[in-house]
A and B are shown apart, each in its own frame.
Chain A
Amino acid sequence: MSIAPLLNKVFMVDLIKGLKVTFKYQNPNQVYTEQYPLERPAIAERYRGLPRLNVNPDTGETLCIACNLCATACPEHLIVVQSERNPLTKRKEMTSFSYDVSRCMFCGLCVEACSTDCLELSQDYEFALYSRDGLVFDRERLERGPEPTVYTR
């Protein structure tokens, strides 16, 4: 064995280097985790979370024109749009919208298909529920949008 590696071994240079690294990381500024309920993580903009139906912010009317493109695009056939024609305006109006999140794989094809920017996958990531029934979102739930859990203690 040549002399340098031997001295390295005897004086445990590598072990001491390791100690130095762990000592430096003790700085509280290095902490990478966050205290989740109090601090919420910043979610990437392109993250595809729970779906939402957008409404016109001025009038509060839905942007959906009941074209059924999203339901057609969906590979899982989990979107059901029901509509009826309004005799006054001669337009189709959406009467109910159901979105089964439990079968959704968040591919985003429905969002691509939507012609009015109505259907959108929001950045809400809190999916946990106590029963499966709550995962079939109706129109009301979809229009309410993300509901971040509020922790009180």
Chain B
Amino acid sequence: MLDYVTSYLHSNVTPGQAGNWLWSLVYILIIFAGVSGIVIVMNWGERKALAHMQVRLGPMRVGPHGLMQPIADAIKLLTKEDIMPSEADKPIFWMAPVWVVMIAFSVFIVVPFGPTHAVTDMNIGILFMLGVSSLGVLGVVMAGWASNSHFPLMGALRSSAQMVSYEIAMGLAVVSAVVMTSFTGLGAYGIGDASASGTLSMIGIVQAQAQQHVWFVFKFFPVGLVAFFIFAVAMIAETNRAPFDLPEAESELVAGFHTEYSGLRWSLFMLGEYAAMVAVSSIAITLWLGGWLRPFPSVHGPAINIPFFWEHPELGVVDFVFSFAPAMVLFVLAFFCFFNAARMPKHPLLKIQTMGLYAFGLVLGGVGLILLAPPVRDRIQDIFWFVFKIACFMYMYIWYRATWPRYRFDQLMKVGWKVLLPLGLGVLLMTGIIGLSPEILAWLKGVV
């Protein structure tokens, strides 16, 4: 038994590939907890960032700067009366939120947080992600249908139409990125020394970017960038976020497909929505932004060696500097905590809150110090960069929501079918032409 547990620690693959069910389970639990943690942070962060962009303060009363607000929200939602409409289709009404959450979380099976930090690596990874994540629309339609009410049905219809039309542009952009893995980079203006072998595996795609010494956003510039842009737009539409949040347009449809839901079921929908946002962001990160790779992954600089602190003969000074990034980010967060605690109004009622904020800053700083220790620092790098990129995407989601007004439905369809779809086809064509340009030139020479 003990051998079974420890045997995986010496292998250099994901637990799924090693066939180790115990460590797979551990990874699943860690990822489930981690994604739920991101959702909780996002709950607070969205309300706070949105409020500041709208010149408000946002939650301030529950904990310092409203830091305990997600907990208060969770308690409120869990203790709320669970209402089911008497005319509702009960089994389907019950299943819809469960389905949404299940789908949103099951795509994380193949998300690579590091070269070995995924539950498993499938050779059809990206196909699996697209396929499973597009099943989420079924939950939305189920909710709209089972509610037996007009607004949810309208919301569900809009949602399905929107998701189906943006899936196509999204797929074309993804195919362009997958095609890029099969070009050595020696196309029109690429660099690198990889052997040409296309792959659909999520880990394989990131490794291809590492071998070709380029993130796919910058490959065949600007083709990769345009593909990434198409995906970025389609991904917002796919997760029903502003400015494409027509399914839950509160000024038109009350709350869209989850109008009739309350309490725990409603919170499951929210959990599913935010988890889906993390999931599609991680697709974009894996395909275009180099997954777990740090910026400039192939620049190492001159080699340095510091005993007991940096003993990597194959890595250079640039790697050394970048290895401080996780700790630095936490130190910056801790500094913000201290700064805000210091400028908190001096009021006897705010004494506990101020102390709490200082304590939170100390916790963040302490975690930063732990991340500075050499063994932790080496192991945390890939996970940190992946999560950091997810955080950037989450911030962009909030930023878009605070800035842009909602599209009209015909405008939404126009953007999807008349702009993104032709653009996606063009990008796919250009990727092929640029990637095969040496062969095409050789063939032309032969003809002429």
Contact = CB atoms under 8 A, between A and B. Distances in A.
B445 interface: no
B404 A25 contact: no
A15 B55 contact: no
Contact of B350 (A23, A27, A38, A151): A38
Given A38-B349, A38-B350, A153-B349, A32 B399 contact: no
Contacts of B54: 25
B381 to A, nearest CB: 29
Contacts of A35: 57, 60
Q: Give the one of A22, A23, A28, A33 with max B CB within 10 A.
A: A22
Contacts of B56: 31-33
A31 B55 contact: yes
Nearest to A23: B399
A26 B49 CA distance: 7
A22 B403 contact: yes
A59 interface: no
A38 B404 contact: no
Contacts of A18: 403-404
A38 B403 contact: no
Contacts of A27: 52
Contacts of B399: 19, 22-23
Contacts of B402: 22
B401 to A, nearest CB: 10
Interface string B57-94: 10010000000000000000000000000000000000
A70 to B, nearest CB: 40
Contacts of B403: 15, 18-19, 21-22
Nearest to A153: B349
B347 interface: yes
Nearest to B340: A28
Interface string A6-35: 000000000100110111011110111101
A25 B57 contact: no
Interface string B332-370: 000000000000010101100000000000000000000
Given A15-B404, A23-B399, A31 B53 contact: no
B57 A33 contact: yes
Contacts of A151: 349
Interface string B389-402: 00000000001101
Nearest to B229: A12
Interface in A123-153: 151-153
A33 B52 CA distance: 10
A22 B349 contact: no
Contacts of B53: 22-23, 25-26
Contacts of B347: 38
A33 B349 contact: no
Nearest to A19: B403
A31 B57 contact: yes
B345 to A, nearest CB: 7
Interface string A22-65: 11011110111101001100000000000000000000000000
Nearest to B60: A35
Interface string B21-59: 000000000000000000000000000010011111100
B25 to A, nearest CB: 41
B55 A25 contact: yes
A96 B360 CA distance: 58
Contact of A26 (B52, B60, B400): B52
Nearest to A27: B52
Nearest to B347: A38
Nearest to B49: A26
A38 B349 CA distance: 9
A31 B349 contact: no
A31 to B, nearest CB: 5
A153 to B, nearest CB: 7
Given A15-B404, A22-B403, A33 B55 contact: yes
A38 B345 contact: yes
Contact of A32 (B55, B345, B350, B400): B55
A22 B347 CA distance: 31
Contacts of A30: 52, 55
A38 B353 CA distance: 14
A148 to B, nearest CB: 15
Interface in A79-101: none
Nearest to A34: B57
A85 to B, nearest CB: 52
Interface of B: 49, 52-57, 60, 345, 347, 349-350, 399-400, 402-404
Given A22-B402, A31-B56, 12 more contacts: A15-B403, A18-B404, A19-B399, A19-B403, A22-B399, A26-B53, A31-B57, A32-B55, A33-B56, A33-B57, A38-B345, A151-B349
11 contacts: A18-B403, A19-B399, A22-B53, A26-B52, A28-B52, A31-B52, A31-B56, A33-B56, A38-B345, A38-B347, A38-B349
The 7 closest A-B pairs by CB, nearest first: A22-B53, A26-B52, A22-B403, A32-B55, A18-B403, A22-B402, A33-B56
